[in-house]
Amino acid sequence: MKKTIILGIFILLGVDLYGQSEKKQEQSITVGLGIGVHNGAYESSLGLVYMVGWQQELGDRQRLRINPNMTFGSYKDYLTDTRDLFYRLSALGVDIHYDLVKYKGFSLVTSGGVFVSYSRGLMGTGDFEGQHHSSDYFTMLYGGAKASVGIRYDPKQGRIAYELIPATLALGNSHYAWLYPMAKINIKLF
């Protein structure tokens, strides 16, 4: 009986308890640069888009990632027959990325997410008809959803992953539409 108890203890100690083992899930800092076309209640223009965020891998297959991020844009109108327009855009968002097809380090990635965006700026006096005699300031708060598709390269041995997103489309309230292609770099943390 004593030998059976000792044997049972050794068997239990030798068994791998997978429910309590911790698989390393990578975290990374994400930065991106792109060109955006933006349209809102008062504003419509073309400008530069910057993004910074944090990314956490989910699951054992490393195909699913969550990415809280901040996106910024600086816009100026390039039309000559409308009022001058200068504005900035700041957005907080959470994206879910999923690798549809993965081959070696390359993958076809799709993304979906939600955002809250704050736009503020100045509409100037200049336009073709000359009806405006003073500048107008505006602020707008938008919310909505966004989706994108792109290509990702994540080498196994490197700390940096690269993404090329040909188009991210964000749609929201008050005629909000934001389309931007972006190049991203994910820097893996230790």
Higher pLDDT, 81 or 115: 115
Higher pLDDT, 3 or 64: 64
Higher pLDDT, 54 or 127: 54
Give yes or no for residue 45 having a pLDDT over 60.
Answer: yes
Residue written as token pair 């419509």: 44
Mean pLDDT, the chain, as a whole number? 84
pLDDT tens for 155-164 read: 888 889 999 9
**What pLDDT score does 118 carry?**
94
CATH number for the domain formed by residue range(s) 23-188? 2.40.160.20
Going by C-alpha positions, the residue among 106, 47, 54 that lies closest to residue 74 is 47
- The answer to whether 90 touches 121, Cβ cutoff 8 Å, is no
Q: Please tell me the least confidently modeled range out of 38-47, 136-145, 156-165.
A: 38-47
Higher pLDDT, 142 or 82: 142
Which 8-state DSSP code applies to residue 22? Answer: -
Q: Where are the domains of the chain?
A: 23-188
Instruction: HSE, CB side, 13 Å, CA atoms: give it for residue 69.
Output: 28
Give yes or no for residue 17 having a pLDDT over 80.
Answer: no
pLDDT tens for 158-187 read: 889 999 999 999 999 988 999 999 999 999
Give yes or no for residue 13 having a pLDDT over 50.
Answer: yes
Give yes or no for residue 18 having a pLDDT over 80.
Answer: no
